[in-house]
Structure 1
Amino acid sequence: MRKWGHAAVGTALAAAAIAVPVTASAGEQGGPSCQRAFDHAVWEDMDSYNKRDAARYRAIIHRDMVTVGRKGNLYLGYDANVNPVLEQFKVPYEYSMPWTVVHTVVENCQMGFAILDAHYLEPAHGIDRHYTISLTLVRDRGRWQVVKDTVTDVVP
């Protein structure tokens, strides 16, 4: 998913992300439980990534995942998206990526997207990159999975 950085997320931040309200279309079915499941899936994606949890990360990624990276790089399919991230999990230095969900939409309890505000931080290397992340999730075989991820630099 993210070829540009990841890290541990504080419990309070993760809990806050789950509590972000979801804007649902008039045609949505499933009500609050669908919205909570979607919000939890977004949190699961980010939390598994930030904690370098390979099993959880693999489980949240859809087999047809597409990523558009911050420099326009394109990754198509499960392996092309998962394998580079699992390699990145092995880097020996410390980093973090605090994030906040700023907007979500869920449609008919089948697809939804979330816009996140994030900072990728590498203190030892003096790196602080500000991103907007757009995640699209689909409900496939009864569970939410990330099918598209777009990362955009936030221009100061």
Structure 2
Amino acid sequence: MAFASLKDVYIHQLQDLYSANKQARLTTQKLAAAAKDPELQKALEAGVIGIENGMTALDAMIKGHGESPTAEFCKGMEGIVKEAQAHALDADFTNDEVQDAVIITQYQRMVHYALAGYGCVKTFAKRLGHDEEARALEDCLKETRSGDLTMSELAMGGINKKAA
């Protein structure tokens, strides 16, 4: 794809973020199924809903520009998802709390990637005068930040202590 304008970059990044969310959703579902702590399971299930909300918003934005949401594949999230699979799901654990601590770590890596993506596209939307899209992207950012904070609270609130 040739980028001739910020709008081209914006649409490409929306598509890339849609792909990242699609990959993260499946992995988050797997992490939720593997989590042992009930609060962690609940938080991850809420994370799946948040990711789906983001995908819905991105889908509408991309289609509103006459493009396909599935036109890009996010290689960055592909690597993060592979790491989550290897370290949180396929690794051998003899302690459930240790696995839960690793699940939080891997989920937060996915979340931080999404935060960077949402922040960039929100800035592009504002610059391009797409104020409604910028507000929707800010909502996605807030929901994503909330999930990240919940994971930090779970880790510091007991899961990491039990894992130690």
Structure number having the greater helix percentage: 2
Report the TM-score when normalising by structure 1: 0.31
Give the structure with higher Rg (CA). 2
Structure number having the greater strand percentage: 1
